[in-house]
């Protein structure tokens, strides 16, 4: 049987790149659609995944742009025909007190985290429903479960992602589509470089990535609707 097609947004670095590599390593022959704006970084991830045994293609795309996502759907469908696993991982984080959050920054953060998940899911989930099978993952955050200071835009976006995942789960479960919302705490990414936070206070991206694979590998009669991952020493 053909290996599943796994589409990962935000695959050029951090957790997204780790997800792609974990699937490539653990499922030889898996077909990966790697999506992000940075084509150069995507190509680096692609080469690693191919060396690990995957078939991997790069699709440079701003997933917060409706026209770009529509073009992505056409390109991915032409190359792979169907997406079996959709991982909505794209997102950004910018800290700022509520009163100092600029409207442009609020819109950008909501677009990157929430609008992107809506657009990409709208592009690929209907085909899953038609086929009667599929897996959709949403990358929320502990910020999508409980608010914390200096993160108004990010928390609002991630609360939205959590709600979007719950709605999609309710609407598609009878059609054989499994929807899982993942809530990680502090996880290593390039944004932590130079932060001064000790490594033992941050989860490795590979651990969070493995959770996606483990949830996907469960039998079709079981769904993990939500999963929370936190650093062993607690939140920062």
Indicate whether 236 belongs to any domain.
no
Structurally, the chain folds into a number of domains equal to 1
CATH of residue 221: 3.40.50.720
Q: What is the pLDDT of residues 91-145, one digit of tens each?
A: 998 889 999 999 999 999 999 999 999 999 999 999 999 999 999 999 999 999 9
- Give the residue-averaged pLDDT of 143-169: 96
Q: How confident is the model at residue 2 (pLDDT cuts 50, 70, 90)?
A: confident
Please, what sign has the CA dihedral across residues 199, 205, 210, 215? positive
Q: What percent of the chain has pLDDT over 70?
A: 100
Indicate whether 235 belongs to any domain.
no
Q: How confident is the model at residue 32 (pLDDT cuts 50, 70, 90)?
A: very high
Indicate whether 81 belongs to any domain.
yes
Indicate whether 225 belongs to any domain.
yes
The predicted pLDDT at position 1 comes to 62
The predicted pLDDT at position 200 comes to 84
- Give the residue-averaged pLDDT of 175-193: 91
Q: How confident is the model at residue 158 (pLDDT cuts 50, 70, 90)?
A: very high
Mean predicted lDDT score pLDDT of the chain: 96
Per DSSP bridges, beta strands 31-36 and 55-60 are parallel
Indicate whether 151 belongs to any domain.
yes
Residue where the block lists tokens 């928390």 = 155
* pLDDT over 90 at 188, yes or no: no
The predicted pLDDT at position 198 comes to 84
* Structural domain harbouring 86: 5-229
- Extract the tokens encoding 131: 């086929």
Q: How confident is the model at residue 20 (pLDDT cuts 50, 70, 90)?
A: very high
Q: What is the pLDDT of residues 75-94, one digit of tens each?
A: 999 999 999 999 999 999 88
Please give the sequence-ordered ranges of beta strands (E in DSSP) within the chain, or none if there are none: 5-9, 31-36, 55-60, 85-88, 134-139, 177-184, 226-229
In this prediction the pTM is: 0.96
Q: What percent of the chain has pLDDT over 90?
A: 90
Q: How confident is the model at residue 174 (pLDDT cuts 50, 70, 90)?
A: very high
Indicate whether 66 belongs to any domain.
yes
Indicate whether 234 belongs to any domain.
no
Indicate whether 135 belongs to any domain.
yes
């Amino acid at each position: 049987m053909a290996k599943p097609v796994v589409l990962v947004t935000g695959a050029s670095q951090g957790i997204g790149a780790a997800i792609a590599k974990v699937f490539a390593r653990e499922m030889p022959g898996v077909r990966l659609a790697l999506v992000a704006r940075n084509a150069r970084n995507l190509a680096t991830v692609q080469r690693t995944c191919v060396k690990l045994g995957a078939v991997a293609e790069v699709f440079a795309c701003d997933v917060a742009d409706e026209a770009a996502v529509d073009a992505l759907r056409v390109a991915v469908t032409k190359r792979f025909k169907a997406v079996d696993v959709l991982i909505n991982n794209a997102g950004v984080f910018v800290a700022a007190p509520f009163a100092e959050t600029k409207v442009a920054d609020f819109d950008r953060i909501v677009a990157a985290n929430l609008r992107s998940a809506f657009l990409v899911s709208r592009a690929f989930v209907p085909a899953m429903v038609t086929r009667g099978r599929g897996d959709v993952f949403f990358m929320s955050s502990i910020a999508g479960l409980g608010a914390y200071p200096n993160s108004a835009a990010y928390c609002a976006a991630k609360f939205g992602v959590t709600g979007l995942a719950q709605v999609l789960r309710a609407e598609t479960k009878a059609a054989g589509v499994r929807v899982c919302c993942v809530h990680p705490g502090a996880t290593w990414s390039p944004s932590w470089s130079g932060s001064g936070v000790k490594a033992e206070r941050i989860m490795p991206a590979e651990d969070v990535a493995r959770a996606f694979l483990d949830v996907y590998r469960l039998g079709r009669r079981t769904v993990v609707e939500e999963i929370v991952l936190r650093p062993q020493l607690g939140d920062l």
